[in-house]
Amino acid sequence: MNIFVVNSGSSSIKYQLFRWPSEQPVCSGLVERIGQEGAASITHKVFEAQHPAAPATEQRQQLPLPDHEAGLREVVRLLTEGEGRVIQDPADIEVVGHRVVHGGEAFAATTLITEKVKAEIRRLFALAPLHNPANYFGIEVAERLFPQARQVAVFDTAFHQTLPDYAFRYALPEALYTEQRIRKYGFHGTSHQYVAAQAAAFLQNPDARLITIHLGNGCSMAAVRGGRALDTSMGFGPLAGLVMGTRSGDLDPSVLLHLLGPLGYSAEQVSTLLNKESGMRGLTGHSDMRDIGQALAAGDARAALGYALYTYRIRQYIGAYAAVLNGLDAVVFTAGVGENDARVRAQVCQDLDFFGLQLDEAKNQLRQPGLRDVSAPASQARILVIPTNEELEIARQCAALLNPA
């Protein structure tokens, strides 16, 4: 079976094609900067069966891509034509797995996409404005490009459905939960689930108490024990918790009232402010951690404050989740920043010996593929760097849905 996984973001599409049941990755790619004139590009990598860890060929091209449909059409062309060709025909793909960020309370598990499921994903646009529309249009385009395939949705929220009520409820009048479903949902669940399973296997402890730290464009943390999420830092939508590329993270609601009242902001302006103009962009002028690292190296004081605030917030949640777990076996860093930014990891882990965490500075600086233990031998809890693979986890969930064991 061929499973094609699509992770549509607000301005990008990540994709991977797997052969099943071998889990062999056939190709993967990234379509970036969709809709930005002159800047859109596609990177397409093809793997060899014998060496699935490193791509045998890599193609990169810049081309005009006005929207997601144009992007996915180009991906289908790369899959079926030219030197990176991996299938004869779009009909060779039997399953398309889609990352869908917000599943609300309706979806606690992976589901086959029907018109009813699509209507629910549309209804949730307002709660995840940067993500659900892109996910939804990705589904519509894939339905047109792969009409024979079964389309499956895997929700970021699903893994967090095990949170106890005292963790997911807000201290608001009950009717806002029972009638309006206002509660914590949590996001990046596919990633937290994947790295938590890898960490538990590495530690040879299925009951490990883990704090998983996903630091990408969006950032979130989860407290996980025995493969179940006990708490997570994002909430009703993907705005709460950690400082992110362009999102504020935790904020006193009085600030919103002040913006909406005396300062005269509209709801839409507040949404744009919190989703697109805040976080590291608001603090430092840059949203990409590589740019902030460069600014810091050049002595930029705003970049230094940005790093301090970003890492301080993570440290606060480590303290909170060590309490939730009543102990700690490992913290796990993952996603673009967590896997690559040694400075962030060092700043997070300094002075956490109270929680049994001690970083090995030299190991932390090494760049190696795969899972890495960067803790000092004396550290009581492990500090792990684990590359996430949301696409593989999505493919596994698709396979489990369609071929239950």
Ligand X SMILES: Nc1ncnc2c1ncn2[C@@H]1O[C@H](COP(=O)(O)OP(=O)(O)O)[C@@H](O)[C@H]1O
Ligand Y SMILES: CC(=O)OP(=O)(O)O
Catalytic residues: 156
Q: Which is nearer to ligand X, 7 or 110 (CB)?
A: 7
Q: Which is nearer to ligand Y, 46 or 72 (CB)?
A: 72
Contacting range for ligand Y; rule: CB under 6 A; set: 34-42, 212-220, 338-346, 360-368? 212-220
HSE, CB side, 13 Å, CA atoms: give it for residue 351.
5
List 288, 300, 353, 360, residue binding ligand X (CB under 6 A): 288
> 14 by DSSP, 3-state: which?
strand
Contacting range for ligand X; rule: CB under 6 A; set: 37-45, 63-71, 289-297, 355-363? 289-297
Q: Are 7 and 391 in contact (CB under 8 A)?
A: yes
Q: Is 37 annotated as ligand-binding?
A: no
Q: Is 339 annotated as ligand-binding?
A: yes
Q: How far apart are CA 95 and CA 3, in angstroms?
A: 5
Phi, psi of 2 (to 5 degrees): -105, 125
User: Which tokens hold the place of 298?
Assistant: 């050049």
Nearest distance, CB of residue 153 and ligand Y, angstroms: 15
Q: Is 7 annotated as ligand-binding?
A: yes
Q: Which is nearer to ligand Y, 9 or 293 (CB)?
A: 9
Examine residue 290 and tell whether it contacts ligand X (CB under 6 A). yes
**Integer Rg of the chain from CA:** 21
Examine residue 217 and tell whether it contacts ligand X (CB under 6 A). yes
Question: For residue 55, what are the β-bridge partners?
Answer: 47
Phi, psi of 190 (to 5 degrees): -60, -40
Question: For residue 213, what are the β-bridge partners?
Answer: 221, 333
Q: Which is nearer to Mg ion, 138 or 216 (CB)?
A: 216
Nearest distance, CB of residue 93 and ligand X, angstroms: 23
Q: Is 282 exposed, middle or buried (0-12, 13-18, 19+ CB in 10 A)?
A: middle
Examine residue 238 and tell whether it contacts ligand Y (CB under 6 A). yes
Examine residue 284 and tell whether it contacts ligand X (CB under 6 A). no
Examine residue 393 and tell whether it contacts ligand X (CB under 6 A). no
Question: For residue 19, what are the β-bridge partners?
Answer: 2, 24
Examine residue 187 and tell whether it contacts ligand Y (CB under 6 A). yes
Phi-psi region of 179 (alpha: psi -120 to 50; beta: other; left: phi over 0): alpha
Q: Is 44 annotated as ligand-binding?
A: no
Q: Are 78 and 42 in contact (CB under 8 A)?
A: yes
Q: Which is nearer to ligand Y, 188 or 225 (CB)?
A: 188
The listed partner (Mg ion, ligand Y, ligand X, none) that binds 131, CB under 5 to 8 Å by sort, is ligand Y
- CA 383 from centroid of its chain's CA atoms: 20
Q: Which of residues 145-174 bind ligand Y (CB under 6 A)?
A: 156
List 55, 97, 186, 216, residue binding Mg ion (CB under 5 A): 216
Going by their DSSP bridges, the two strands 219-225 and 111-112 should be labelled as unpaired
User: Which tokens hold the place of 324?
Assistant: 């939730």
Q: Are 246 and 276 in contact (CB under 8 A)?
A: yes
Q: Is 217 annotated as ligand-binding?
A: yes
The residue of the chain with the least Cβ separation from ligand Y equals 218
Nearest distance, CB of residue 175 and ligand Y, angstroms: 27
Examine residue 9 and tell whether it contacts ligand X (CB under 6 A). yes
211 residue type, one letter = I
Nearest distance, CB of residue 335 and Mg ion, angstroms: 6
DSSP 8-state class, residue 61: E
Residues in contact with ligand Y, shown as a per-residue x/- string from 4 to 33 under the rule CB under 6 A:
-----x------------------------
Nearest distance, CB of residue 250 and ligand Y, angstroms: 15
User: Which tokens hold the place of 279?
Assistant: 């976080």
The residues binding ligand Y (CB under 6 A) are 9, 101, 131, 156, 187-188, 216-218, 238
Binding-site residues: 7, 14, 99, 214-218, 288-290, 336-340, 390
